[in-house]
Amino acid sequence: MTKALAGLKLLDVSRVLTGPYSTMVLADLGADVIKVEVPGRGDDSRLFGPFANGESGYYMTLNRNKRGITLDLRRPEGQAVLKDLARWADVLLENFATGTMAGWGLGYEDLAAVNPRLIYASITGFGQYGPNSGRYAFDAIAQATGGLMSITGAKGGPPTRVGTALGDINAGNFATIGILAALYQRERTGRGQRIDISMQDCIAAILENAVVRYTIDGDIPTRLGSSHANVSPYDVFAASDGHVFIACANEATWRRLCKAMDREDLVTDARFEINAKRAENIDTLTEIINRWSSRFTAGELLAVLETNGVPGAQVLSVDQVVGDPHIRARNMMVAVDHPVAGTITIPGNPVKMSASDDTIERPAPVLGQHTDQVLAELGYSADKIAALKAAKIV
């Protein structure tokens, strides 16, 4: 099958995680993504472990399905090559500090002058304008300043970073949405545009009901562990060999849980008779449920919950997720053959489409692997490519 974005040409001038994650998604969907890296060193993430035969597993996960070239953007000769690439491209994505690309003569206005149809996406910590636009940011800084860290962690404990780099990945996903929307708009207008993605904005955007709990009720949300401020019981409970999440999102499910526990007396208990009361007395209720749930293994507990129509799930460790039959059936753990690293297993493409397959067609590039090929496609002669190499521009 032809992939959904086959024919789309994208320049990935980004590093580490947030930009490469966005371009990985677009590459998985069929875009021809050319990753631009610093000659001799490459993306900083090439130095992040774990390593297989010297190749970074971190880098290989985020840069599959891309072609890779090296190019020194700090020098005029490299900037000229990028402008030639911009004439070829539909989309450029970068995640340098605000103003860096413009300082090199490679900002949106510079490249739109050579290709008015270019969609130019920038991901930064705090955006292209506003009082903090010049500040640097990493994932945890976005989680901290966007409010997410304040509501994550154990009840009464310190603010906690989410276990995956959600500040980076969330911004990468919003950049992908913006790029696809801009491509659709370009079909009508014939022109590209600038996309400005702030990591802090993207965290603030996913605070769910936390914002309205404050703006409507004046309640400043804080850390609740795995429980929910408005739904109870909705939390992780102990099994004899692990943990199971139990979700009672309505009164009917609560009554079914009481039946499963052989504690139907709790339905009429004044402390638990409605959701608001259960939330008020959540510590007592959690203790009651834990005493019951810990009598079972996770598998036994899930069977009891399922029999009684109560939603639940075992909390799986990463090794369990990698081996999970359902995950495997959906092609979400994929073995990729890399020319240096050998065969490695990485997460697959979660976007399943009826008219486009989800295969990973090429491993992440070794540094500069496709430089000659890409420059030749731009019309550069072998002599010119050799001269750029000799000058260490590529």
Collapsing DSSP states into helix, strand and coil, what is residue 312? strand
Residue among 124, 52, 132 nearest 95 (CA): 124
Nearest-5° Cα angle at 326, 325 to 328: 65
CA separation for the pair 271, 280 (Å, rounded): 8
> Sheet of 312-314: strands edge to edge?
234-239, 242-247, 312-314
Collapsing DSSP states into helix, strand and coil, what is residue 321? helix
Instruction: Decide if 146 contacts 199 (C-beta within 8 A).
Output: yes
CA separation for the pair 126, 335 (Å, rounded): 37
CA separation for the pair 276, 272 (Å, rounded): 8
Please provide the size of the chain in residues: 394
* Cis peptide, bond prior to residue 233, ω within 30 of zero: yes
CA separation for the pair 261, 292 (Å, rounded): 7
Q: Which of 28, 72, 168, 358 is catalytic?
A: 168
Is 168 tagged catalytic? yes
Q: Which residues contact 142 (CB under 8 A, 6 or more apart)?
A: 125, 167, 168, 171, 199, 200, 202, 203
Assigned token pair, 73:
């953007």
How does DSSP classify residue 35? E
The residue behind tokens 């599959």 is: 64
Assigned token pair, 30:
């069929």
Residue among 24, 20, 208 nearest 5 (CA): 24
Query: Dmax of the chain from CA atoms?
Result: 85
Active centre residues (catalytic): 168
